[in-house]
């Protein structure tokens, strides 16, 4: 079972993701430079956090045209589990693999803190080991995490159960006070129609060991291992 | 040939930077400024023989990269 961690110029959570997969989860992990055209037979692909291309123009806007993204798109089209974390989520939205966009936080501040998110859906490769409604404590570190989509898209996301993570308080209540950035409907993470592509602003890979304050993020990695075991090797791999 | 591309947030998209700017202006005493929307401005040097070609090319790159149609719209001007 092999994880590919895509590295763009400006990625800075690539090593966090690699560490969580390789040393905490104990699976095989490889960095894939953005100029590569192959994912080297990966079973799972992670687009990590950071500031690809310095966030120039818009967050994630330039990275979508990196050579490796053609391989990432065909991996997703083949049903492969693809996780975008923070800047990776922004890249997925710019690439249109996920709907909507991430705007500047409503208070214009960069938020670096632990927040709670509620698992809304457990039928994605990255949440199948979580309990419905489970509250995860995960760190966020972003200035542009304010999820926006037009009213029709939002309604469609809700109706089709594609809001995967929602900001909430410790008791699992999604309130305006528990929403750190102004995201519409308190959305912290979503998935595509096929449910194999998941993007979220919080950093599960930085919450995989209790000395770091939380090990709640490990459930995403455990989930995708279980998912792959259930679904077997991918045809595209 | 020069093309100018103005990218602005769609009216339905909240602009926290514009809001902060207008609040600053009000605190400076400019009560007459009702609203501010912040946008982006691009100057393109376009290799084109006529204004229509330059406009088409500028619109194409605005669609593909300069603007994100989910949140932004754009306007193109060509300097003849």
What value of ipTM does the predicted structure carry?
0.85
pLDDT at B80 over 80: no
Rounded to whole angstroms, how far apart are CA atoms A98 and A210? Answer: 31
Residue A163 has pLDDT above 80, yes or no: yes
Q: State the total domains in chain B.
A: 1
The pTM for the full model equals 0.93
pLDDT tens digit string along A8-41?
A: 999 999 999 999 999 999 999 999 999 999 999 9
Q: Which of A117, A209, A131, A207 is nearest to A163 (CA)?
A: A117
Q: How confident is the model at residue A235 (pLDDT cuts 50, 70, 90)?
A: very low
For residues B16 and A106, is the Cβ–Cβ distance under 8 A?
yes
The predicted structure's pLDDT at residue A231 = 86
**First-to-last CA distance in chain A?**
10
**pLDDT confidence of residue A232:** 73
Is B17 near chain A, with CB under 8 Å?
yes
Q: What is the residue whose two structure tokens read 């077997």?
A: A232
Q: Are strands A2-7 and A28-33 parallel, antiparallel or unpaired?
A: parallel
DSSP assignment of A1-18, as one string? -EEEEEE-TTB-SHHHHH
A104 lies within 8 A of chain B by CB: yes
Q: Which residues of A touch B12 (CB under 8 A)?
A: 150
Contacts of A104 in chain B (CB under 8 A): 16-17
The C-alpha of A100 sits at a distance from chain B's nearest C-alpha, in angstroms, of: 6
Q: List the domain range (segments joined by +) for residue B29.
A: 2-79
Q: What is the pLDDT of residue A44?
A: 98
Average pLDDT, integer, range A141-153? 97
Rounded percentage of chain A residues whose pLDDT exceeds 90: 96
Give the A window 185-204 contacts with B, CB below 8 Å.
Answer: none
Please check whether residue B14 touches A, CB under 8 A: yes
- What pLDDT sits at residue B11? 93
Task: Please give the average per-residue pLDDT across A91-119, as a whole number.
Answer: 97
Cβ–Cβ contact B70 with A under 8 A? yes
Average pLDDT of the residues in B55-71: 97
Chain A contact probe: residue of B5, B7, B8, B14 with most A CBs at under 10 A: B14
Catalytic residues of A: 86, 203, 205
Position A237 pLDDT exceeds 50: no
| Gyration radius of chain A's alpha carbons | 16
Rounded mean pLDDT, A200-213: 96
The domain that contains B72 carries what CATH number?
3.30.1280.10
List, in order of start, the domains of chain A with CATH numbers: 2-231 (3.40.50.880)
Q: Is A104–B17 a contact, with Cβ atoms under 8 angstroms apart?
A: yes
pLDDT of residue A233: 55
Tell me which chain A residues have a C-beta less than 8 angstroms from the C-beta of B39: none
Chain segment A61-98, per-residue pLDDT in tens: 999 999 999 999 999 999 999 999 999 999 999 999 99
The percent of residues in chain A predicted with pLDDT above 70, rounded, is 98
Confidence check: pLDDT of B39 > 60: yes
């Amino acid at each position: 079972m092999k994880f590919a961690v895509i590295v763009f110029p400006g990625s800075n959570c690539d090593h966090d993701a690699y560490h969580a997969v390789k040393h905490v989860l104990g699976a095989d992990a490889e960095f894939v430079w953005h100029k590569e055209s192959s994912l080297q037979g990966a079973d799972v692909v992670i687009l990590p956090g950071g500031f690809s291309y310095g966030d120039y123009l818009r967050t994630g806007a330039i990275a979508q045209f990196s050579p490796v993204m053609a391989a990432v798109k065909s991996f997703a089209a083949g049903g492969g589990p693809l996780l975008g974390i923070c800047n990776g989520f922004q890249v997925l939205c710019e690439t249109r693999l996920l709907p909507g966009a991430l705007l500047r936080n409503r208070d214009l501040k960069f938020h670096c803190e632990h927040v709670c998110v509620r698992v809304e859906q457990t039928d994605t490769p990255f949440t199948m080991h979580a309990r419905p409604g489970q509250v995860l404590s995960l760190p966020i570190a972003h200035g542009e995490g304010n999820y926006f989509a037009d009213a029709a898209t939002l309604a469609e996301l809700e109706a089709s159960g594609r809001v995967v993570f929602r900001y909430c308080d410790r008791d699992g209540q999604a309130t305006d006070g528990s929403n750190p950035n102004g995201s519409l409907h308190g959305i912290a993470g979503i998935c595509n129609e096929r449910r194999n592509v998941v993007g979220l602003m919080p950093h599960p890979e930085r919450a995989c060991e209790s000395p770091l304050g939380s090990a709640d993020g490990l459930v995403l990695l455990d989930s995708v291992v279980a998912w792959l075991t259930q679904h077997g090797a991918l045809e595209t791999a | 040939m020069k093309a100018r591309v103005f990218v602005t947030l769609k009216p339905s998209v909240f602009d926290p930077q514009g809001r902060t700017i207008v609040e600053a202006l009000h605190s400076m005493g400019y009560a007459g400024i009702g609203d501010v929307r912040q946008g982006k401005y691009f100057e393109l040097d376009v290799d084109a023989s006529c204004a229509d070609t330059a406009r088409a090319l500028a619109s194409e790159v605005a669609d593909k990269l300069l603007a994100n149609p989910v949140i932004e719209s754009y306007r193109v001007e060509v300097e003849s």
